[in-house]
A and B are shown apart, each in its own frame.
Chain A
Amino acid sequence: MARRGRAAILPTNIILLQNLVKRDPESYHEEFLQQYAHYESLRDIFMLQGLAGSDNAGGAGDSNGSSGSGTSGSTSQLMELIGFVSQVCFCFPKETANFPNELKQLVLEHHKSLPFELKEKIISSLMMLRNKGVISAEQLIQTMFPLLIAYSSQGNALTVNSHARELRQMIYKNLISLLKSCNTGSKNQKLNRSTQAVCFNLLEQPDSQGIWAAKLTRELWRRGIWDDSRTVEIMTQATLHGDVKIAISGVMFFLDADKEREANFEDNSEDEDGFDLDALKHKMQVNKKTGRRGKKLETAIKTYKKKSNGSAQDNGFLNFSAIHLLRDPQGFAERLFNQHLSGKNNNRFDLDQKISLMQLISRMVGTHKLMVLGLYTYFLKYLTPKQRDVTKIMSACAQACHEMVPPENLQVMVRKIADEFVSDGVASEVAAAGLNTIKEICSRAPLAIDDTLLQDLTEYKTSKAKGVNMAAKSLVTLYREIAPEMLKKKDRGKTAAMGLQEAKREGKDLKSRRPQFGVETGNVEGIAGIELLAKWKNENGNGNEDDEANWEVDEEGASEEDVEGDWVTMDSDKEYDVDMSDSDKDSDLDLSDKEEETKLDPETAFRELASTRVLTPADFAKLNELRTEEGVAKLMGIKKNEELVDSTTLVGPVKYKQTREERIQKIVEGREGREKYGSRKGNRDKAHSTTNREKARKKNFVMMIHKRSVQGKQKMSLRDKQKVLRQHITKQKKKGH
């Protein structure tokens, strides 16, 4: 095509002009100014008509209606022009300096009278201006939040044609995407802080506007955009809010948000392997631990490795759960309990919400080892078998226990559970639930039960119902480890009984070995898993401590270094106390002492190792390896206090008799995708012509009867016949038929 002058491509519509202006802003300056003037005049018309019409809405109903519909044409024009100007705004920053401001004013001050489409257009244009860097994200947020609040209040939502719901959704989505885009790469702390300040302000007001702050925070937490303690602080404030909806949204955040976040970042591939970790875990909890379960252990190792690999990948957010990031857990838990559960206001919440509150408080109490003593007596009211969702309440009960709670408080609760749930008159599921709960409580706080009650409860191990006797046995297993002397003599088991006899023979005080109130156990200080390293060092000698090679990160070399480390440089100021302990051990080979030696206290190990030498990368590599082993042990049933008590497992396995339909369904399920049983003789895998053998089989018998192969059989000697028969039998057996 021949070249044409600029005037030849005169734009006759806005879109075309937009394209031209974007390509060559200077040449189309005049056109742009003209359209900008057009926009201004349209805006003025709109201000005059659209707004005036809505102000005296009652006065001139007829004229109002007609003008409202009459402006629809100009509204669409105005929308088009707003889109145009905001698209090319960045080309003419001087001329359009006022434009974003005007849009903001329009939508903030006159949003009641603007038609929905125009509002939508203005909001998306503002979003576009933010993306093009014309306005800052803070400015945009300052526009969005007031709108969001304005449209969630009742007054505006009810006016005709306001489309409050759609607008809210749009603004909310825009807010999320804005914060997401601002926080990709590195976190935009300034923006986050200002937005969080807005959220705090929202939550300080007594009305229900704060729900938006809670909703936004939860969504951003789920996406890993906000992950600091300020965020958690917002949710704390939400949880303590007077409004039921906001409070519950806060509670749900603390209960579910971390799971949600994990699920969000997890790939779905893990669902494919059908390894039921929970079932294995449960079996390991309940059954006696023997060496027989090698296979299961292997699979457990595999999954552990898989999981640790998965968590190693960087998700770009701090991987702390919300409960761990609380600034003042004790104060929060107390206020929550006093305000929402025990106070006068507790009638506002229905049962499900109360249960969620109980779960949250008890989870916090368990995790941070807090003291909320009123909680335990509060539970008493709900601990009856007929209470709805009682298993959830019971799991909350168990969750709230830890060893720092005075045993008197817990004993009341345990007694109540035992009285209400565990008796001969109740259904087996109820008894199993009660026993399991007591076991969970006791695994956290061993002193929560006294000897007589424990011995009573262990009697249920002879129960006919599977769930009940499993639960009772698990209780026995638990106390065999913690405090065997509290059990009846016959329940103590071999090792525990032997240990007790030993102690008695030596005249030690039995009481001193029992768990005592106020003594913290299982509190790891220092480097996690260092006791394993110390133990490993003890076992493998201590030759290679100062090897330079250890400083190089060489994971494969770790095993070889054991052999290589012949040469030892002995520093004069270093003490090698490991040798000393070795010599000690030689002197007395007592059984109990050996046990103590193998159970190295982490604290002493830390002191022993960390104070004498600097840990090398090789040490850390070994440490990791050892911790993997321990992790497996953890999978096999050793519990931490933070672990959740699953309310569904409390009841234990329940087996009902299946109906005929269920049985048949199960059978049919088994048949799915399998071939029919029976001979595959007639079936051909591939299409082929009849073999000679097949042909021979079909041959007329009369024709065959005089053949030697047939007659020969009859004339065979007895011994030959027997031989053939034997051959035939072995052949058939080898075939597998």
Chain B
Amino acid sequence: MPKTRKQKLKVKDFQKKKLKVGKDKPKASNATDTSFVSKTISIRNQHLGPETDLTKRIQLLKHHNSTVKKETLQAFQKMVPRIINTSIMTPLLNQCIPLICDDSRQVRSSLIELVDEIGLHDAQVLKLHCKVFVLYINMAMTHIMPSIQSSSTSFLKCLLKHCGDEICNQAFAKIMLGLFNVLGWGRSGKNLSANAAQNQKRNSKQTAEHLETLCELIRHGCTDKKNLQSDGNEEIPNYLPNQHLIPDCPQPYEHLKLFTKQLKNKQDVTSADSVVSGFSTQDVRARQLILKEQFLLDLLKHSESLTKEGGEPGKWANALKQLLDSTFQDV
């Protein structure tokens, strides 16, 4: 047994403290006091005021969440009348256009609405960005996801409504090729692609939509209203003084590709399709020629077979056939 005071103290350290009901647990010897006294406490709060700077909203178009993207698009759609003539439109469209290939259907449909809204207010804005639109629509047409592919035509339809001439001028042949791809019509005369074969059976509604767009495209591209009215002067290409006048279209020498950046290709090895997409489609006559030489046979064949199947697609195929007939009767 410990006897001296010192020894007792030593033993005390190692004895267990008894806990009692209704009393606090005794504090440990090394407990630290964390309380403090302060005059004011400032908490940094989230800034919840209304956002005025729209450029910051544009960033949301890259948000990973599709709902956020959709809501942002809708918000911009509401604001279109206010901002249509401001400098924000270019960055906005630059950010919007890649969403053509977005995975979510909602985002794409709200983007269509936005584009439509813009076109209603000022078609010139769309015209300015036509080139980028064409590239992205083209990309969507060859996309591996079927849903993106099929929705690409509705973008095209919307654009054709507002600035059809510009699109036909720039990339008529390219878009024709893309549409053939979407419809699953093989140009090489071989088998249909597996993707398209499946789509055709399932989704006649979409096929109808594609066909409608195709009709629209051909109507915009190959029927010349001026020419129809003042029919009869077919010697215009041979009329020499015309060369020295200022041309009607803004960029008559674009097909020379003097100012575009492109990779050089060896011409002899390129496949037929890429040659076709490289044709200049500046005027109506050229487009008609391309249509006649490259696509007409396939178009007629496919539309005929679709007409036989009937239904919604059959109706549009018939319309297409009539359109083609009327167009090439004139020429």
Stretch at the interface among B105-113, B191-199, B286-294, B313-321: B191-199
Nearest opposing residue in chain A for B268, CB measure? A97
Is B138 within 8 A of A66, CB to CB? no
> Within A1-30, which residues are at the interface with B (CB < 8 Å)?
6-7, 10-14, 17, 27-30
- Is A67 engaged at the interface, CB distance under 8 Å to the other chain? yes
Stretch at the interface among B43-51, B141-149, B208-216: B141-149
Q: In the complex, what's the smallest C-beta–C-beta distance from B146 to chain A, in angstroms?
A: 8
- Is B295 engaged at the interface, CB distance under 8 Å to the other chain? no
Stretch at the interface among B18-26, B129-137, B230-238, B298-306: B129-137
Q: In the complex, what's the smallest C-beta–C-beta distance from A14 to chain B, in angstroms?
A: 7
Is A12 within 8 A of B135, CB to CB? no
Is B91 within 8 A of A105, CB to CB? no
A38 to B59, CA, bound (A): 26
From the candidates B94, B191, B263, B266, name the one contacting A47 in the complex (CB within 8 A). Answer: B263
Nearest opposing residue in chain A for B193, CB measure? A30
Query: Is chain B's interface secondary structure helix, strand, loop, or mixed overall?
Result: helix
For A30, the chain B residues whose CB sits under 8 A away are 186, 190-196
Stretch at the interface among A68-76, A147-155, A413-421, A725-733: A68-76
Is A44 within 8 A of B98, CB to CB? no
- Is B269 engaged at the interface, CB distance under 8 Å to the other chain? yes
Is B143 within 8 A of A38, CB to CB? yes
Q: Annotate A639-668 by CB proximity to B: 1 below 8 A, 0 otherwise.
A: 000000000000000000000000000000
- Is A45 engaged at the interface, CB distance under 8 Å to the other chain? yes
A675 to B4, CA, bound (A): 50
For B197, the chain A residues whose CB sits under 8 A away are 7
Is A40 within 8 A of B144, CB to CB? no
A47 to B269, CA, bound (A): 22
- Is A48 engaged at the interface, CB distance under 8 Å to the other chain? yes
Is A17 within 8 A of B198, CB to CB? no
- Is A555 engaged at the interface, CB distance under 8 Å to the other chain? no
> Within B184-206, which residues are at the interface with A (CB < 8 Å)?
186, 190-198
Interface bin, chain B: 35 or more
For A35, the chain B residues whose CB sits under 8 A away are 142, 144
Inter-chain residue pair count (beta carbon < 8 A): 105
- Is B262 engaged at the interface, CB distance under 8 Å to the other chain? yes
From the candidates A27, A37, A41, A51, name the one contacting B273 in the complex (CB within 8 A). Answer: A37
> Within A140-180, which residues are at the interface with B (CB < 8 Å)?
none
Q: In the complex, what's the smallest C-beta–C-beta distance from A585 to chain B, in angstroms?
A: 85
A13 to B143, CA, bound (A): 10
> Within A53-106, which residues are at the interface with B (CB < 8 Å)?
62-63, 66-67, 69-70, 73-74, 94-95, 97-98, 101-102, 105-106
A70 to B60, CA, bound (A): 12
Is A10 within 8 A of B198, CB to CB? yes
Is A29 within 8 A of B145, CB to CB? no
From the candidates A29, A41, A69, A97, name the one contacting B190 in the complex (CB within 8 A). Answer: A29
Nearest opposing residue in chain B for A29, CB measure? B190
For B138, the chain A residues whose CB sits under 8 A away are 37, 41, 44
A33 to B197, CA, bound (A): 16
- Is A31 engaged at the interface, CB distance under 8 Å to the other chain? yes
- Is A34 engaged at the interface, CB distance under 8 Å to the other chain? yes
- Is A486 engaged at the interface, CB distance under 8 Å to the other chain? no
Nearest opposing residue in chain A for B187, CB measure? A33
Q: Annotate A90-125 by CB proximity to B: 1 below 8 A, 0 otherwise.
A: 000011011001100110000000000000000000
For A43, the chain B residues whose CB sits under 8 A away are 263
Is B274 within 8 A of A40, CB to CB? yes
Is B145 within 8 A of A12, CB to CB? yes
Is A34 within 8 A of B142, CB to CB? yes
For A135, the chain B residues whose CB sits under 8 A away are none
A210 to B197, CA, bound (A): 59
Is B269 within 8 A of A48, CB to CB? no
Nearest opposing residue in chain A for B201, CB measure? A7
For A284, the chain B residues whose CB sits under 8 A away are none
Q: In the complex, what's the smallest C-beta–C-beta distance from A93 to chain B, in angstroms?
A: 10
- Is A42 engaged at the interface, CB distance under 8 Å to the other chain? yes
Q: In the complex, what's the smallest C-beta–C-beta distance from B77 to chain A, in angstroms?
A: 20
Q: Annotate B152-183 by CB proximity to A: 1 below 8 A, 0 otherwise.
A: 00000000000000000000000001100100
Q: In the complex, what's the smallest C-beta–C-beta distance from B278 to chain A, in angstroms?
A: 11
* A34/B181 contact (C-beta < 8 A), A10-B195, A66-B58 known: yes
Known: A44-B262, A48-B132, A66-B94; 10 extra A-B contacts, CB below 8 A, are A7-B197, A12-B144, A12-B145, A41-B138, A41-B142, A45-B135, A48-B135, A48-B261, A97-B266, A101-B263
Q: Top 4 nearest A-B pairs by Cβ distance? A: A30-B193, A38-B142, A41-B139, A97-B269
- A residues with a Cβ closer than 8 A to B are 6-7, 10-14, 17, 27-31, 33-35, 37-38, 40-45, 47-49, 51-52, 62-63, 66-67, 69-70, 73-74, 94-95, 97-98, 101-102, 105-106
Could you pull out 30 A-B pairs where Cβ atoms are within 8 angstroms?
A10-B198, A12-B144, A12-B145, A17-B144, A29-B190, A30-B186, A30-B190, A30-B196, A31-B195, A33-B273, A34-B193, A34-B195, A38-B143, A38-B144, A45-B135, A45-B136, A45-B139, A47-B263, A48-B131, A48-B132, A62-B91, A63-B90, A63-B91, A66-B94, A70-B62, A70-B95, A73-B98, A98-B265, A101-B265, A105-B264
